[in-house]
Amino acid sequence: MSQTMIKPPMSMPIPKQAIPKFHYLNRCYPPRNIRCKIASMVDSSSGMENVDLLESKEKTEIKVGPYPGGIGPHTGRDPNVQKPKWLRQKAPQGKKFEEVKESLSRLNLHTVCEEAQCPNIGECWNGGGDGIATATIMVLGDTCTRGCRFCAVKTSRNPAPPDPMEPENTANAVVSWGVDYIVLTSVDRDDLPDGGSGHFAQTVKAMKTLKPEIMVECLTSDFRGDLKAVDTLVHSGLDVFAHNIETVKRLQRIVRDPRAGYEQSMSVLKHAKNTKRGMITKTSIMLGLGETDDELMEAMTDLRAIDVDILTLGQYLQPTPLHLTVKEYVTPEKFAFWKEYGEAIGFRYVASGPLVRSSYRAGELFVQTMVKERTKGTSGSEL
């Protein structure tokens, strides 16, 4: 659909700092294909940029095509495509939500709920229908060393060093909330020798010291495939080891940072399962990126082959025009089919829905019961 744009007066000065630029992996890319003919001239003495538009009447209509979006063949956003009604969420609010938010701010803690713009933040922090509040704390800072093309978390090659007080602050915050189940996750820290696994493990141990009965799920990076780093975290006292493969095999290089990979992620999940008896493993896949049904079935079969217990499936939503475009909005009925299929082939639990995320309602009663059963079974077998 054509749009109308009004030209500003001729020779309108624009300060250089006002020209919008987008951050991606420490590079600044100006918006591409500006939809009007501009002849620019930099006045070095004034430090201003004069933009002279072609002469015309004061109000000139210019026909423009579809919004070109960001960079590359897989990015951009079509303003004519609307999200379906099942993806609309109310703005987060509520007493519990405000309490959690204030506590996080006071202790300088980060959550993936906020950093990754999760649509379920209000429901999870308030406890949903069962009253079990779930917040996913993000340790090792809020800046990632990788640049996956679906993720809204900040990136840098050299992020700030981890806060040495973070394990203690995280434990104090979690205990003050009175929750029984907590999810810890982290950014990728390829700049650290152990990928941050030692810091991650310290946080788990600090929480278990203050509240031994708390159940801890760790949603981890792949630690560059370093299985010793996986060992460090698995033996820290956590109850559920989670690592996301994110998408099907064919789309890995398009969706994820080149340092990640399908086989590497499978290796991490397999090692976590085998290195500690009774360890519950979990992963997540985004739908709507262009995967086929056969490809998703193949990924689910591969995950069951390494005995992954829990799978979450959710709709990919594009955070900005610089991120990957949505290829398909998968219907709630199709998500219901995948839940049934997944549990039929052996997953202990499948959470599948348009707004489901890897940590969505992680502490719900079914998962808590599964953890308790595995703990009892492991203890009994060791007697």
Residue numbers in the known binding site are 113, 118, 124, 144, 148, 151, 359
pLDDT of residue 271: 98
Query: DSSP assignment of 310-334, as one string?
Result: EEEEEE---SSTTSBPP-----HHH
Looking at residue 126, its pLDDT comes to 54
Using CA atoms, how far residue 183 sits from 121, 131, 211, 240, 322, in Å, is 13, 16, 15, 9, 29
Note the pLDDT tens digit of each residue in 245-271. 999 999 999 999 999 999 999 999 999
Q: What are phi and psi of 238, to 5 degrees?
A: -70, 160
Per-residue model confidence as pLDDT tens digits over 138-164: 899 889 999 998 888 888 999 999 999
- Residue-wise pLDDT for 270-306, tens only, equals 999 999 999 999 999 999 999 999 999 999 999 999 9
Question: Strand ranges (DSSP E) for the chain?
Answer: 12-15, 22-24, 27-29, 38-43, 48-53, 110-111, 136-139, 143-144, 154-155, 181-186, 215-219, 240-242, 280-287, 310-315, 349-352
- DSSP secondary structure code for residue 349 in this structure: E
Q: How confident is the model at residue 122 (pLDDT cuts 50, 70, 90)?
A: low
For the ranges 103-112, 183-192, 224-233, the one whose mean pLDDT is highest: 224-233
Rounded-to-integer distance, Cα 184 and Cα 203, Å = 9
- Residue with the bigger pLDDT between 7 and 138: it is 138
Percent pLDDT > 90 in the chain is 45
Q: 173-223 pLDDT, tens per residue?
A: 888 877 778 889 899 999 999 999 999 999 999 999 999 988 899 999 999
Q: Pick out the residues of the known binding site for [4Fe-4S] cluster.
A: 113, 118, 124, 144, 148, 151, 359
Task: Give percent of the chain with pLDDT exceeding 70.
Answer: 62
Report yes or no: 146 and 260 within 8 Å, Cβ to Cβ: yes
pLDDT for residue 141? 86
pLDDT at 44 over 90: no
Give me the mean pLDDT over the 7-30 stretch. Answer: 39
Q: Is pLDDT at 8 greater than 60 in this prediction?
A: no
Q: What are the φ and ψ backbone dihedral angles of 215, each rounded to 5 degrees?
A: -95, 130
More confident residue, 131 or 236: 236
Q: Which pLDDT score, from 0 to 100, does residue 56 have? A: 36
pLDDT over 90 at 342, yes or no: yes
What is the rounded average pLDDT of the residues 58-79?
48
Q: How far is CA 277 from the centre of its chain?
A: 29
76 band by pLDDT with thresholds 50, 70 and 90 = low
Residue 7, number of CB atoms within 10 A of its CB: 17
CB of 165 within 8 A of CB of 206? no
More confident residue, 58 or 268: 268
Which one-letter amino acid corresponds to residue 69?
Answer: G
**Whole-number average pLDDT of the chain:** 76
In whole angstroms, what separates CA 63 from the centre of its chain?
38
Is the pLDDT at 23 greater than 50, yes or no? no
